[in-house]
A and B are shown apart, each in its own frame.
Chain A
Amino acid sequence: MNILRHIVALAIKELLAILRDKKSRLVLIGPPIAQLLVFGYAASFDLNHIPIAVYNEDRSAASRELVAQLTGSPHFELVGHLDHDAQIAPLIDNKGVLMVLHLGPQFSETLMRGKTAPVQLIIDGRNSNTALLALGYLRTILTDFNMNWSRQHGRPGPPAALRIRPWYNENLLSRWFIIPGIVALLTLVVTTIVTGLSVAREREAGTFDQLLVTPLRPVEILIGKSIPGILIGLIEGSFILLVVVFWFEVPLRGSLGALYLGMFLFLLSAVGIGLMISSLAVTQQQGILGAFLFLVPAVILSGFATPIANMPEFVQQLTLINPMRYFMVILRGVFLEGDSYELLFNQYWPMAIIAIVTLTLAGWLFRNRMN
């Protein structure tokens, strides 16, 4: 009974210490909400209104039909027509357009003779991912054009055709992939900030020694210091989930319980890491630096924006100690693939191990300082 009272008292004291100061209260609530809204709209690989220019030397009905199909697509925005070669380079160089479609003077003649008419496409490859995606969109339009043309002009179509169907995300919206990840991103930032400085700040102020001479045992201090981080993380995480489901309308297909179990384990491991950093740090500056040095790689190597499978083998091994990596799979699995507990078991236990190891180490560091 005593233990419980100790822990509750300490947890309340910790929460008050965090929330008492107006500035730090603001820092915990304002930015995550603003960032959620801004990043929710910004973080996407989907391309809209790709600026494109057409250099059409042919000007026949057939070439106009092709250009019309292009401008009809929501992905492209026709910025202008060119009338000589020399205009292409400056337009691409200065990012006036992402690509230029060039139809030669013999385009319709070749097409009418039943031959293959070549079409040149010049793409700005400075962002190679955008270039590849834009090329993909254009290919799809061209394949449709080819099919229609063959049918209308009695040309034989290709003997075989691909029927591609994406599962779980039928329209391939990259927002559906990125936005659930923001739940992990923002809860991690908030929890690390809350816990990463909790011991270092007290140590600098000298109150940590006072805490150590109270009848509280290290385990109780550890639990008492963990609770605020987990509580704040859970509350903010729940709020973000609501926004993701009701504002951004990402489908939530799996079990909410499985998601929350994941979130709890994730927060537990984040708190463990935060407390470990905090008890290692002698000054607040070191605490901030440590939190930073953990946060930045944890985010980049989590699969949030770029797939882990694309990383070299040794970096992939390194991601195994990153709790965010596992929570990312859980979030996307539950949201889009409708996963439940059994399928996610392999994501739960590594986070549990990370939490146990880091919390134990943090506790050991408390006690070590005591003696």
Chain B
Amino acid sequence: MKAAAASRMRLLGMIRKESLQILRDPSSIAIAFVMPVVLLLLFGYGVSLDARHIPLAMVVEQPDATSASLTGAFQRSEYLDPQLYNSIQAAQQAFDLREVFGIVWLRNDFSERLLSQDDAPIGVIVNGVDANQARITEGYIQGVWQAWLTSFARSQGVELSLPVALEPRIWFNAAVRSRDFLVPGLIAVIMTLIGAMLTSMVVAREWERGTMEALMVTPIRISELVVGKLVPYFILGMGGMLLSVAMALWLFDVPLRGSFWVLTVVSALFMLVALGMGLLISVVAKNQFVAGQISIIITFLPAFILSGFIFQISSMPAAIQVITHIIPARYYVAILQTLFLAGDIWPIVLANSAALAVMMVIFLGLAWRKLQKRLDA
């Protein structure tokens, strides 16, 4: 009984000391609250895969009623922004100077061949450098063309009869807004950064200044030290997290279809993983210089590229897919995208949470053991 009370007292003292330290040095508060807001604003507006008003060169060699109706169809598309050119040479020049992203080319026999059902070709050139943008542009051009074919056939009094017509239904994000999946993913990337930065720099600084050794000669136990360090940063980190979720919901209008409580619990779990990672970095690195470098290198870029936040994991080579399993953000991104867009889908939430729990135990356990070793040395 007495031992437990003493332990609680030491723990509370430790938490109090850490909290005071945070309050005196505003840099951790800045990391926890200012960084998520700035980063989410910048990225929420800056990262988008939705192309609008893609500039296209429309070359019409023989203007007439038919070509005008096709040009009109392109002009009405909200995704494409066609500009008229009267020769392919002029269009190509604009294409080379990157003024237009693609060219749609109607030759002078277009209408004639169209009316005689002679498989009139519409030449399309797209700039393939950005393959993703090129594929999306192709999709938009195909959409315009298909809609125009149907209406053209109707105007000629015939029914266009394609053998098979696709009726796609896109679940969870009918408007295909890329922001709806990017913003939840960004929360995961930003929280990885912040969680790891909060602990790694701060603890490394204590090592450098020798205050860690001072702490260790007190009767405090390693486990109390770890918990005492984590609690205040955990509260800070969760504050930043709530702020990010609020911005996602009310600023970026991302729907939250799952329950808020599941989101909170999972986020708390992830925050512990990120803080544990930072703690481990700081224990291993010993000084701020190396701790800072390591946390930049192992948090930001891996969370950005390997978490499935933007690049599809299932399309990566098998060896790389294995590597993605050691990136904590991977599990959190999967949970967030599902919770926000699809709802509480338990198999996904539970499987990924289990992985996060395992990572938390590993990181905190390793940090605890390393701390003990350093104490002995």
By a beta-carbon cutoff of 8 Å, the part of chain A in contact with chain B is 23-24, 27, 31, 35, 38-39, 41-51, 66, 92-95, 111, 114-133, 135-136, 138-139, 142, 145-146, 149-150, 153, 155-170, 172-174, 176-177, 185, 189, 193, 197, 201, 284-289, 291-293, 295-297, 299-301, 305-307, 309-312, 315, 332, 336-337
Contacts and interface: CB of A to CB of B under 8 A. Distances in A.
A156 B117 CA distance: 8
Contact of A177 (B130, B162, B165): B130
A162 to B, nearest CB: 5
Give the 5 A-B CB pairs with smallest separation, nearest first.
Answer: A166-B128, A288-B292, A169-B128, A125-B173, A174-B131
A242 B37 CA distance: 39
Given A27-B294, A128-B49, A307-B51, A44 B311 contact: yes
Contact of B312 (A130, A155, A156): A130
A127 B124 contact: no
Interface stretch (B10-18, B223-231, B270-278, B335-343): B335-343
Contact of A23 (B51, B136, B290): B290
B130 A123 contact: no
B49 A177 contact: no
B45 A51 contact: no
Contacts of B142: 139, 162
B141 interface: yes
A342 B109 CA distance: 38
B315 interface: yes
Nearest to B145: A162
B366 interface: no
Contact of A126 (B51, B315, B319, B341): B341
A123 B121 contact: no
Nearest to B97: A343
B134 interface: yes
Contacts of A299: 300-301, 304
B167 A159 contact: no
A133 B135 contact: yes
Nearest to B49: A129
A297 B348 CA distance: 31
A119 B169 CA distance: 11
Interface string B85-123: 000000000010000000000000010011101111111
Most interface-central of B35, B176, B201, B296 (chain A CB within 10 A):
B296
B105 to A, nearest CB: 9
B329 to A, nearest CB: 13
Contacts of B165: 116-119
A29 to B, nearest CB: 12
A122 B171 contact: yes
Interface string B39-83: 100110111111110100000000000000000000000000000
Interface string B300-326: 111011100011101111011001100
B170 interface: yes
Contact of A286 (B27, B128, B136): B27
A94 B347 contact: yes
Contacts of A189: 296-297, 301
Given A23-B285, A124-B172, A128-B181, 9 more contacts: A46-B315, A128-B176, A160-B114, A160-B122, A160-B145, A161-B120, A284-B289, A310-B49, A310-B50
B289 A310 contact: no
Nearest to A39: B305
B129 A177 contact: yes
Interface of B: 27, 31, 35, 38-39, 42-43, 45-52, 54, 95, 110, 113-115, 117-136, 138-139, 141-142, 145, 149, 152-153, 160-174, 176-178, 180-181, 193, 197, 201, 205, 285, 288-290, 292-294, 296-298, 300-302, 304-306, 310-312, 314-317, 319-320, 323-324, 334, 337-338, 341-342, 345, 347-348
A169 B168 CA distance: 28
B264 to A, nearest CB: 21
A39, A44, A132 — which one has the most chain B CB atoms within 10 A of its CB? Answer: A132
Contacts of A185: 301
A185 to B, nearest CB: 7
Contacts of A130: 312
B135 to A, nearest CB: 6
Given A49-B315, A163-B123, A121 B337 contact: no
Nearest to A164: B124
A367 B83 CA distance: 54
19 contacts: A38-B306, A42-B316, A47-B315, A111-B163, A123-B169, A125-B176, A128-B170, A128-B176, A133-B136, A159-B114, A159-B117, A159-B118, A172-B134, A288-B288, A289-B27, A292-B197, A293-B35, A305-B304, A306-B47
B124 A163 contact: yes
A185 B296 CA distance: 13
B205 A131 contact: no
A249 to B, nearest CB: 15
A199 B183 CA distance: 36
A159 B193 contact: no
Contact of B120 (A124, A129, A159): A159
A49 B321 CA distance: 13
